[in-house]
Amino acid sequence: MKFIVSSSYLLKQLQVLGSVINSSNTLPILDNFLFELNDTVLTVSASDLETTMSAILEIDSKSKGSVAIPAKLLLEILKTFPEQPLTFTVEENSTIEISSNSGKYALAYAPGDEFPKAVVLDEPSATMVPAEVLASAISKTIFAAGNDDLRPVMSGVFFQFSPQSLIFVATDAHKLVKYSRTDVTATEVAEFIMPKKPLNILKGILAMTDSEVKIEYNDSNAVFSFDSYMLVCRLIDGKYPNYEAVIPKENPKKLHIDRTQLLNSVRRVAIFSNKTTHQIRLKIAGTELNISAEDIDYSNKAEERLTCDYQGDDMQIGFNSRFLTEMLNNLHSDEIMLEMSLPNRAGILTPVDGLDEGETVTMLVMPVMLNN
């Protein structure tokens, strides 16, 4: 088995696949990349058993075979080469030799058939989604997903497909994000929960492509295919909570304000808040928004006044500044609207501008009890 490939082209593909590999694996074979060669087509895969990702590379070769090559070692050596063709040759003595313009490097390999096979879906449902839409859906929701191992369903992003719309939801019980598109639809109704790790990997590479992503899914697995990549992952098992029930419908108090101005104020004031609760207080009256925080233990306090457009009765409400900052960071609009009803009911953040046709983003943040 022998093939020739460009060093920078190979490195670029392996760096994408390398993000699948865990730092400590129970199976030693998972510390390797699987190279499968079939004449001029080289398929390279990486897996952690839950997620398997492969890339198809076009190379110069006339042979067939498969080997598992240590990932860390291969990435380290590839990073040091300037752009040049590299020749990989599998030797009889269980080593693979890499020849560059300036030298030869031999590393041990494992037989390719020891590498776990990726799951193949029988008659899956399929939906086509533009890469840009999927990337936007992931980045707008993933930050709100939980990290609680006791509630695994809330540690992923909920995909809800229908002939009317595509909806993506994430929540950790303190904050919730619902991202929906009516300009992209599925042929049939489907629901599944995607784990965070494969979504983070996708988020990184979808930004570099403008093609359509084919999403295939059944009850237990999903496959994302686009360009030369294919990512197969196991879905999170369980029923997603009824998120619609927690979004308050009647919110008579509406606050319009410049997003950047509010974000900067919240960031500054939050420095003076209690380090365990991160509580900040919003006091709204007329066209004035007063943001304050206090840490009684250290006698630290801060207060800022902003002008805003507000409809509704005067009110005071408390929020965790970290959740508010995260949400404001992930809303890409100049102006936002905060809708509220009572100080103990969730506030709803929505962008006023900067949305595509058919795109809606709803962010919900739970209040914290104010201690007067």
Q: What is the pLDDT of residues 250-291, one digit of tens each?
A: 999 999 999 999 999 999 999 999 999 999 999 999 999 999
Task: Give the mean pLDDT of 114-141.
Answer: 94
Full strand arrangement of the beta sheet holding 315-320: 300-307, 288-295, 279-285, 315-320, 367-368
Q: Among the residues of the chain, which ranges form H helices?
A: 7-18, 71-80, 131-141, 196-206, 259-270, 321-330
Mean pLDDT, range 185-189, rounded to an integer: 94
Burial of 24 (0-12, 13-18, 19+ CB in 10 A): exposed
Distances in Å between the alpha carbon of 239 and those of 107, 154, 190, 197, 361?
Answer: 46, 10, 13, 19, 23
pLDDT band at 60; cut points 50, 70, 90: confident
* DSSP SS3 for 199: helix
Cα atoms in the Cβ-side hemisphere of radius 13 Å centred on 240: 27
* pLDDT score for 370: 83
Q: Over the stretch 208-232, which tens digit does the pLDDT of each residue have?
A: 899 999 999 999 999 999 999 999 9
Helices (H) and strands (E) in the chain, counts: 6, 28
- Give per-residue burial for 267-287: e unless 16+ CB within 10 Å, then b: eebbebbbeeebbbbbbbeee
Q: What is the mean pLDDT of residues 118-127?
A: 92
Mean pLDDT of 119-139: 94
Q: Of 189, 187, 192, 188, which Cα lies nearest the Cα of 220?
A: 192
pLDDT, average across residues 57-77? 94
Instruction: Give CA separation, 176 vs 46, 73, 140, in Å.
Output: 32, 41, 11
Nearest to 219 by CA among 237, 200, 202, 198: 237
Q: Nearest Cα to 190, choosing from 256, 235, 253?
A: 235
The answer to whether 229 and 146 are in contact (CB under 8 A) is no
Cα atoms found within 13 Å of the Cα of residue 215, Cβ hemisphere only: 24
The mean per-residue pLDDT over the stretch 52-80 comes to 95
- CA dist 237 and 86 (Å) reads 43
- Confidence band of 149 (pLDDT split at 50, 70, 90): confident
End-to-end alpha carbon distance in the chain = 74
pLDDT of residue 372: 61
Show the domains of the chain with their CATH numbers. 2-114 (3.10.150.10), 125-244 (3.10.150.10), 247-368 (3.10.150.10)
How many Å apart are CA 52 and CA 281, to the nearest integer? 46
Single-letter code of the amino acid located at 246: V
Kindly report, residue by residue over 326-335, the tens digit of the pLDDT.
999 999 999 9
- Single-letter residue type at 190: A
Residue 371 has a pLDDT of: 72
Write out the two tokens for 269: 């004031």
Phi-psi region of 330 (alpha: psi -120 to 50; beta: other; left: phi over 0): alpha
* Cα gap 7→12, rounded to integer Å: 9
**Summary mean pLDDT of the chain:** 95
* Displacement of CA 359 from its chain's centroid (Å): 18
Give tens-digit pLDDT for 74-119: 999 999 999 999 999 999 888 999 999 999 999 999 999 999 999 9
Q: Decide if pLDDT at 199 tops 90.
A: yes
Query: Looking at the predicted structure, is the pLDDT value of residue 339 above 70?
Result: yes
